[in-house]
Amino acid sequence: MVEDTKAEGEAPEPEKQKAEDNPWYLLATLYGVPDRGYQALQDKNRIAWNRYYAGILDEITRKKLVTENRHTGEELTPFSGEELEQILNVFEARCGVKGKKPPEARESTDFSNVKFESSFDFSRFLFNQLVSFHRATFAASVTFESATFLGQSNFARAIFSSGADFASAMFMEWAFFYWATFSHTGDL
């Protein structure tokens, strides 16, 4: 018999969402999911993500991140109106839903309860405001190497099954790893 460890009155955990059903994942893989080692596509996705979020950075933060070599000036140059329109079209095609738009850059980034089946590389991604990986499950390795978290970061109850790399990640505010599970050696 399996013992239920939930506290009395605690709601059951919701079903995990596939990464492909999460709008932030689709934005992070705007041009497609790169195969391991396909750096050109990884870079293209990261630069699009960072430029999308650069539009809400203040000039002081932007200059600091470039001066400290966290990100390049190109990566932190907001999209022009025309470029943004192209990004919206690419996102709509990526989703396969006519008229679907990416989450607003000012919204909290929400990967809560997402199940990442494959390895994923968030290296050098810029995360604005609140980012949540609450109850996210990483079935394969994940790296946040040199990622920049400008706001609060929630990794509570996240499950890292096969390696998690946070080497040189920068957390500007608190990072919450309460009850996170690391099943494999990782770099924190």
How does pLDDT run across 25-52, given as a tens digit for each residue?
A: 999 999 999 987 789 999 999 999 999 9
**CA angle, 106 then 112 then 114, to 5°:** 120
Q: CB neighbours (10 Å) of residue 48?
A: 22
Q: What is the pLDDT of residue 170?
A: 97
Q: Report whether 27 contacts 102 (CB < 8 A).
A: yes
6, pLDDT greater than 60: no
What is the C-alpha to C-alpha distance for residues 187 and 176, in angstroms, rounded to an integer? 16
pTM: 0.90
Q: What is the pLDDT of residue 9?
A: 61
Q: Report whether 131 contacts 154 (CB < 8 A).
A: yes
Q: What is the pLDDT of residue 3?
A: 38
